[in-house]
Amino acid sequence: MKRIVIAILVAAVAAAALPAPGRADVSVRRESDENPMVEISRSILYGGLAGLMVGGAIAWATESDDAGEILRWSFVGGTMVGLVAGVAFAARRPQPTSLLELDAGELRVHAPPTVEPAPGGARAHLVGLRF
């Protein structure tokens, strides 16, 4: 049993000592929330508020009797634009790579992951799965 543990430790030290393969990975630095639902919800909220503001300005500037319709459809349009923008933003942000990654049935070993500070400790992406 000791030989297996020693062999695993030697292999881990040797793997860490080898140079990392040269890849053009994306450095993930997010200025937004990690949870995509929070980002989408904020985009919807801000889109709806922007729609109300623009609709209110248009309704105030016009002298017609359908100010309620203008406000209603401006709010709906702003909410829809916020939804689309939030989903597009959350879907296009870069994904971090892991030390071990299963990608389309093939196991890949990447460079050691960076350790990120997190509330109450640290976080590192060790195992990943891509579809």
pLDDT level of residue 53 (50, 70, 90 thresholds): very high
pTM: 0.53
What does the domain layout of the chain look like in residue ranges? 32-93, 96-131
Q: Are 95 and 86 within 8 A, CB to CB?
A: no
Angle at 34 between CA 99 and CA 50, to 5 degrees: 150
How many percent of the chain have pLDDT more than 70?
A: 66
Q: What is the DSSP letter of 60?
A: H
Does position 96 have pLDDT exceeding 90, yes or no?
no
